[in-house]
Structure 1
């Protein structure tokens, strides 16, 4: 029997899109051209690889206090060299993370990543390439397929949980709904935020296709506004958009 080919990875899809994007092309990231997006991703891939090697070698792992500073040498690179640097850095990072994940994806490796289990770090980089791919090109069928992968939504909900904790304001609750999937619940209670995937109900909600919903969670909006519809009141919609804008 012929084997069904595996779907392309988020990094492969990112590279596919990047080939048609000029270095100075504007992106959905404020203040960043495509060159700055690639610089940030290359910087992050190299950092994780460096941290993983340091753990294996028993040496101190590098840390980042300011990503804007860390990214500067990458931004100064020739764009062709930078794109090759991203490819080699991603390959090394992926191999090293796979080494740790094979032993125990739930393990937290000292000095690696952001205190997340190694399996979550792998998902985080997949999510980074998926979302930043959309930043380069906007809506298309390939972006829809990648952004709709449920494991990326699950990771994003877990990762962004703490980001809502600093939000002020009155108690609030709203749902973002996608067909045939759990609802995404966004809540503020007693000054603390909460994100969760919950069983759907019939309450008013913001409705979006799965790819658009992941974009909304990361403070973005799909290029086609018809992909998102609201049954919320204007005040509820504004509050929900405000909560998610910071991501």
Structure 2
């Protein structure tokens, strides 16, 4: 199976707000039906070619769920529903384990690190594993690890997820750092998203 490319978005840019909202609701219902049919009718290891890579049907459904939650935040900001959804541990796990390295590719390229330069950062939410980010001239890595040493950025779980996707909450007091402006600039560049 193969999905459409990103050119699928072009027709939606021309719609009025009312027509865009109707299309959104219609397509969400269609996506729900497709995900339910895939869960019911396909083996969990059925592969789908999607935006240049191969994923399984359950991954695709979970990723679409994450995209909807994240883009809801893009529209509504830090309301209680968005923060509660972004706080969910599965969101962080999916972002780190399933999407992590592709999520860092653009930012790593923008860093333009010299061959002998390396960036390592820890994003910490108290009571959970750290998200450890690494980048050098050729590669970027992301993983979960037990808290160790100082955090580069400490925040609540929802804010940490937003930072992973190149976003920031409206309230800057939700995250803190003693890493200094240059380190923060480099981490924010790495986390510039797709």
Q: Which has the higher contact order (CA 8 A, sep 6+)?
A: 2
Distance 1:189 1:71, change over 3 A: closer
In 2, Cα distance between the equivalents of 1:78 and 1:120? Answer: 32
Residues 156-197 of structure 1, C-alpha deviations (whole Å, 9 max, x = no match):
222131343453312111100002111111101452000111
Kindly name which structure, 1 or 2, has the bigger radius of gyration based on alpha carbons.
Answer: 1
In 1, Cα distance between the equivalents of 2:31 and 2:82? Answer: 23
2:17 corresponds in structure 1 to 79
Distance 1:218 1:163, change over 3 A: closer
Dislocated runs of 4+, deviation >6 Å: none
In 2, Cα distance between the equivalents of 1:95 and 1:154? Answer: 25
Select between 95-104 and 149-158 the one with higher mean Cα deviation.
95-104
Q: TM-score, normalised by structure 2?
A: 0.83
2:54 corresponds in structure 1 to 115
Matched position secondary structure for 1:87: helix
Q: Is structure 2 residue 30 aligned with structure 1 residue 92?
A: yes
Written as runs of structure 1 = structure 2, the 5 A alignment for 1:13-24 is none
Instruction: Figure out how many residues of one structure are paired with residues of the other and give that number.
Output: 184
Unaligned runs of 5+ in 2: none
Distance 1:192 1:220, change over 3 A: same
Matched position secondary structure for 1:195: strand
Matched position secondary structure for 1:115: strand
1:175 corresponds in structure 2 to 122
